[in-house]
Amino acid sequence: KAGVTQTPRYLIKTRGQQVTLSCSPISGHRSVSWYQQTPGQGLQFLFEYFSETQRNKGNFPGRFSGRQFSNSRSEMNVSTLELGDSALYLCASSLRTGGGGDTQYFGPGTRLTVL
């Protein structure tokens, strides 16, 4: 069974631009979560989607948004990029949502660099 895939793997943008990252979960998984990983803050939760609905959102500004499609694929968008948005963005999928009972499996991440 194929794992979680993320595209693109690397991105270089300049301040003020916007970016869209994509995540395809493991086949059959319906929950997708996004995390931002930086050297200083570690992994921080961005948001989670299940059945095309956002189920939870972390403490990030409104410039960070996401969505999920009917095939469970998810995208996240960051508008008006800032230098501090440079990070590894990780997507994780799990079979379902509901109280934290499911193991999450991570994709390889998208390395975003903002110049």
Using CB under 8 A, list all residues that contact another protein. Answer: 3-4, 31, 33, 35, 41-45, 48, 50, 55-56, 58, 88, 90, 92, 94, 97-109
By C-beta, is 9 or 63 nearer to another protein?
A: 9
Smallest distance, another protein to C-beta of residue 47, A: 9
How many of the other CB atoms lie within 10 Å of CB of 68? Answer: 24
Smallest gap from Cβ 74 to another protein, in A, equals: 13
Task: For tokens 């493991």, name the residue.
Answer: 26
Q: Measured from the CB atom, is 20 or 45 closer to another protein? A: 45
d(CA 56, CA 47): 5
Closest distance of CB 17 from another protein, Å: 23
Buried b (16+ CB within 10 A) or exposed e, 20-37: ebebbbbeebbbbbbbbe
